Amino acid sequence: MNPIAVFKQTWLEAKELKDASASYCTLATISSSHQASVRTLVLREVNDDSFSLFVNETSPKWQDLTNSKKIEILVFWPSLMQQYRIRGNVSELSRSVMEAHWRKKPYGAKIIDHFYAQKQPQSSVIGSRELLLQGIDELKQKYPSGEEIPYPNNARGISLQATYIEHWKNSPADRIHKRHEYRLTEGNWKEFILVP
Ligand SMILES: Cc1cc2nc3c(=O)[nH]c(=O)nc-3n(C[C@H](O)[C@H](O)[C@H](O)COP(=O)(O)O)c2cc1C
């Protein structure tokens, strides 16, 4: 069984159920000082073998990613009471893929990427909200809505090519929940049953 095909089908079901978590995932990274960090990100795309996320190069998570590629993505869909944990090989999305996404990105999100590039890095401390809004306003004047906004080099994307997937499925009747582990071995997915 291909667990990614099952993931995609289940993801579709969660979207149809209007599960607010269906758009997101949790990304876990490790810093150079071995500090674990988790945060919510938009789950952008799932292909036949990989999961795509967008990450700003100025952010602490990007620093973590340059330190260690041993990341994990977690997805939990409350509407279905199912969880996925995904590990694998990380690579960077190509510039052409990122530029194609950039063209579809909402205006406000583009302005924020330029803020990170030209004003202050993502997750850095800023003196006040007024200062933040002032910086945003300056960028809105520089790049008016409706005009073409240049792609900033700090908008990066990663692809996690899955080699390990763990699926947890609620079994409310007996509370003996179903857990399956899938490992990609020589191009084939091997399935294991885990003690819940
Ligand atoms: C619902 C939700 C969606 C989010 N989506 C993104 C996202 O797509 N990209 C992003 O950089 N941060 C997103 N964030 C903010 C991140 O969780 C995080 O606070 C930010 O990226 C800074 O992370 P870092 O300091 O670990 O680099 C989202 C937060 C929430 C609650």
DSSP track, 88-101: EEEEEPPHHHHHHH
193 CA distance to ligand 1 centroid (A)? 33
CB 124 less than 6 A from any atom of ligand 1: no
Evaluate whether residue 171 is within a structural domain.
Answer: yes
Considering its fold, how many domains does the chain have in total? Answer: 1
pLDDT at residue 1, rounded to an integer: 83
Residue pLDDT, tens place only, 112-126:
999 999 999 999 999
Evaluate whether residue 130 is within a structural domain.
Answer: no
Q: Whose CA is nearest to atom 2 of ligand 1?
A: 40
Residues of the chain with pLDDT under 70: none
61 CA distance to ligand 1 centroid (A)? 10
Q: How many CA atoms lie within 13 A of 183 on its CB side?
A: 5
CB 109 less than 6 A from any atom of ligand 1: no
Evaluate whether residue 97 is within a structural domain.
Answer: yes
pLDDT at residue 21, rounded to an integer: 98
Range of the structural domain that residue 29 is part of: 3-102+153-193
Taking the whole predicted model, whether its pTM rises above 0.85 is answered as: yes
Evaluate whether residue 161 is within a structural domain.
Answer: yes
Q: How many CA atoms lie within 13 A of 51 on its CB side?
A: 30
pLDDT at residue 127, rounded to an integer: 97
Evaluate whether residue 31 is within a structural domain.
Answer: yes
| Gap between the Cα atoms of 168 and 88, Å rounded | 18
Q: Whose CA is nearest to atom 30 of ligand 1?
A: 40
Evaluate whether residue 121 is within a structural domain.
Answer: no
Evaluate whether residue 41 is within a structural domain.
Answer: yes
25 CA distance to ligand 1 centroid (A)? 10
Q: What is the CATH number of the domain that holds 86?
A: 2.30.110.10
